[in-house]
Structure 1
């Protein structure tokens, strides 16, 4: 359609129509261009990020040897940190002593301070009772089946302190082995425990060899190596542990406390 004549009645109307159409086309083109630019920039940014991440991963996995070394270094650092966090458990230190019948015992000791101290016995033997003196310098190992007693010192030495014989008032000597051979239920020496660092209490039926039920508390002195009857007696005797009152003993259900000199207190 040609341009309308300037003298036509419809000239102004047609020109307005054309102008509005042109403006609309320009606006549409501008919107399309703007949307295109936005879409292109978004795609470009995504591509750049993905490409950058791919390069990072590629660079990180580029050298397998380097990755292996890195993992080893990390593991070593973790182990070192863990070792610092968890203090190492001390290893038990032991020495070996031998019971009178040849049975070997492993004695656990601690030498972290200036003086070595006995802390326990390693052997889990139900036939052996073990008791340590208050300072930890000595211990007694008692073999229940044979009624043998071994004194153990923290320096690793030991000695047999079994009361092997008893001499009666008329001079007759009775040996432990012969009495136990005749009566294996006889209590010659039982439940030795420390009263203090130098004295050990134990239960015995000495001096009687008949069937009477009486028992006595005897005392062994480490320094002078003597066995003495304290004359503390009863039918049922139990020796417990040391407390601030002394060595706890229970005589016929009465609790008392034994001192190193052989005296007792309530």
Structure 2
């Protein structure tokens, strides 16, 4: 701002104007400086706030994750299988041996699993439903049925009545001829019928035959069409029970029908 000459006629007026303008300029500068300070302080706060936010995020990311497995309760296991009941029944045989019939499950879910010893010294078969087992007591030639509750009954035919009415008692026949095969090798045909081999109905022949017994009514019926010196009952298949008759394989069902 140019200072007016003292020799000017309007010197006083110009000086007053000059002073006023100077005051205004100072006020404007102060106002601008104040605005600048306010703006800088606000921006600084924003920067500081953002910086603190970033630090907070970094701190959260670097914070060790707490192992939720520690102190947490272990998941409750499904105990339906672990608490499943298992046990066995001990069956005494006439030769002094015993058979252990193992089952699993409880109440109506119980099922037979195996028979021990499993070395072949005990002849047995488990029904298709696994609710029954047949054991063969070789010394007494008896067929024993054991149900899933451990109840035992003798299924052996105690006597044979011929078509002419002659009666052959089991105990008498075996006593007179210990090598005679009254019954042997019982196998399930289904849950209600078993098959077994026997020399009945003949006494003076060595050929064997297949008989079927109904568990419910204890009826014994000979299968027509099977006879041989060596008759073996094997596994149950879709065709029926496998029977090997002197090297020839056939299949028998519960009704006594034979198929190749």
TM-score band, normalised by shorter chain: 0.5 to 0.7
1:146 CA displacement: 2.0
8 A contact 2:135–2:143 mirrored in 1:
yes
Q: 1:179 is paired with a residue of what secondary structure?
A: helix
**What is the CA–CA distance in structure 1 between the aligned matches of 2:111 and 2:169, rounded to whole Å?**
34
Q: Does 1:166 align with 2:165?
A: no
Residue in structure 1 matched with residue 62 of structure 2 by the alignment: none
Q: Does 1:265 align with 2:259?
A: yes
Given candidates 230, 234, 245, the residue that maps to 2:223 is 230
Q: Does 1:116 align with 2:110?
A: yes
Higher helix share goes to which structure? Answer: 1
**What is the CA–CA distance in structure 2 between the aligned matches of 1:243 and 1:126, rounded to whole Å?**
21
Q: Which runs of 4+ in 1 moved over 4 A?
A: 98-104, 123-127
Residue in structure 2 matched with residue 54 of structure 1 by the alignment: none
1:247 CA displacement: 0.8
Given candidates 121, 134, 146, the residue that maps to 1:140 is 134
What is the RMSD computed on CA atoms of the aligned residues? Answer: 2.7
Residue in structure 1 matched with residue 144 of structure 2 by the alignment: 150
**What is the CA–CA distance in structure 2 between the aligned matches of 1:97 and 1:214, rounded to whole Å?**
31
Give the alignment's TM-score, normalised by structure 2. 0.62
CA shift in 2, pair 1:99/1:161, >3 Å = farther
8 A contact 1:216–1:233 mirrored in 2:
yes
Residue in structure 2 matched with residue 96 of structure 1 by the alignment: 90
8 A contact 2:95–2:139 mirrored in 1:
no
Q: Kindly provide the CA deviation profile for residues 50-104 of structure 1, in whole angstroms up to 9, marking residues without a partner as x.
A: xxxxxxxxxxxxxxxxxxxxxxxxxxxxxxxxxxxxx98x885112344578865
Residue in structure 2 matched with residue 206 of structure 1 by the alignment: 200
Output aligned runs, 1:48-67, within 5 Å.
none
- Runs of at least 5 residues in structure 1 that lack an aligned partner in the other structure: 1-86
1:214 CA displacement: 2.1
8 A contact 1:109–1:119 mirrored in 2:
yes
Residues matched between the structures, number: 180
**What is the CA–CA distance in structure 1 between the aligned matches of 2:121 and 2:106, rounded to whole Å?**
30
CA shift in 2, pair 1:106/1:227, >3 Å = same
CA shift in 2, pair 1:126/1:238, >3 Å = closer
**Higher Cα Rg, which structure:** 2
Residue in structure 1 matched with residue 20 of structure 2 by the alignment: none
8 A contact 1:100–1:160 mirrored in 2:
no
